[in-house]
Amino acid sequence: MKKIILVASVLLAVYSCKKEEGAKKENATETSSEAPKSNNKIVTLSGGVTEIISALGHEKEIVGYDVTSTYPESLKATAKDLGHVRSMTIEPIMAVKPTLILASDKDVNPELLGKIKASGIKAEVFNQEFSVEGTKKLIEQVAKALGNTDYQKLNDKIDADLKQIQPIAKKPKVLFIYARGNMLMVSGTKTPMDALISLAGGQNAVTDFEDFKPLTPEAVVKANPDVLFFFSTGLQGAGGNEGALKMPGVSQTNAGKNKKIIAMDGGLVSSFGPRLGEAAVGLNKLLIENTK
């Protein structure tokens, strides 16, 4: 009896594998004849990628975006918000009938990636490096995926913006704090904020760990930043400047004593897209102001 069941299961497995293969073959032929041009319907699952697509002039082709894609704001009117990539499922993506899905590998849930691949819709997953070179490479890759060759002007703009950065004689130590509700995390090295701070002429007050870690008063005092750096929404949620000054350990730091607190738009800071230059210049200006 068990043998029959085993054989039946194996047959079922083979049959469904065959079906998948058949489907994949059909997909391959279909998409090769469908070279992506401006009739695309694009789903973008990363803020940075979204900005690049818009900057390249394809904004109107976007039909779906994720929660980190906050710029440009005009997207809200023309496309659908699909939610957080970490909890997103494939069906809402398919519901907007995309022809192209673009995502960054840093955010997306691997199960979702698997489903996207299996869906047969053309998809590109980019590896996003948080540096000037990395951004330029990403711009080039996204442009290629869109079949657009006119991307150099984006890179040029970044370079032009970056030229406006004024070096600061004594590099200020900057501590980036991610504030969300009661959760406070600080940025160590190898994060987008870390890279941006360096670009803008400052230095990360934290050098002894990577990534984000929960804030502890001892770590804050040891880092002794000259400036505290927040997302605008984060700072607001934490109670503005007053709230920031009350955070554990802050009162013992230079930043706390001198009340040097700055904030920038979250999307601008973390997207590392075409506005990278803008972001760096903006941060640079704020740093200069706050280290006089």
Partner 1 sequence: MRTQSKLYFYLTISAILLVIIAVWSLNTGVYDFGGRSAFEVLGKVIAGDTSLSLSDKYVIWDVRASRIVMAILIGSMLAVSGTSLQGLFKNPLATGEAIGLTSGATLLAAIAIVLGGYFRQYLPEMVQFSLVGISAFLGALFAMMLVYRISTSGGKTNVVMMLLSGVAITSIGFSITGFLIYISKDDQLRDLTFWNMGSLAAATWTKNIILTVVLIISYIILIPQGKALNAMMLGEKDAQHLGINVERLKKQIVIITSLMVGTCVAFSGTIGFVGLIVPYILRLLFKSNYTFILPLSTICGSILLLIADTFSRSIVAPSELPIGILTSLIGGPIFIAILLKFKKSL
Q: Per rule CB under 8 A, is residue 167 in the interface with partner 1? A: no
Restricted to residues 243-282, the positions that interact with partner 1 (CB under 8 A) are none
CB of 112 to partner 1, least distance (A): 8
Considering beta carbons, is residue 80 or 137 the nearer one to partner 1?
Answer: 80
Q: Answer yes or no whether residue 80 interacts with partner 1 by CB under 8 A.
A: yes
Q: Does 41 interact with partner 1 (rule: CB under 8 A)?
A: no
Q: Across the strands, what pairs with 122?
A: 100
Q: What are phi and psi of 79, to 5 degrees?
A: -135, 175
Stretch that binds partner 1, among 6-14, 36-44, 165-173, 238-246 (CB under 8 A): 6-14
Q: Which of 91, 133, 150, 208 binds partner 1 (CB under 8 A)?
A: 91
Question: Does residue 77 contact residue 132 with C-beta atoms inside 8 Å?
Answer: no
Does 155 engage in binding with partner 1 (CB under 8 A)?
A: no
63 forms part of the interface with partner 1 (CB under 8 A): no
Q: Is 212 in the site for partner 1 (CB under 8 A)?
A: yes
* # chain residues binding partner 1, by CB under 8 A: 42
x/- map, 106-125, partner 1, by CB under 8 A: xx-xxxx-xx--xxxx----
d(CA 67, CA 81): 7
| DSSP symbols for 207-234 | -S-BSEEE--HHHHHHH--SEEEEEHHH
Measured CA to CA, the distance from residue 105 to residue 113 in angstroms comes to 9
What does the alpha-carbon distance between residue 59 and residue 42 come to, in Å, rounded to a whole number? Answer: 9
* Burial of 5 per CB tally in 10 Å (0-12, 13-18, 19+): exposed
Q: Tell me which stretch binds partner 1 (CB under 8 A): 71-79, 80-88, 157-165, 220-228.
A: 80-88
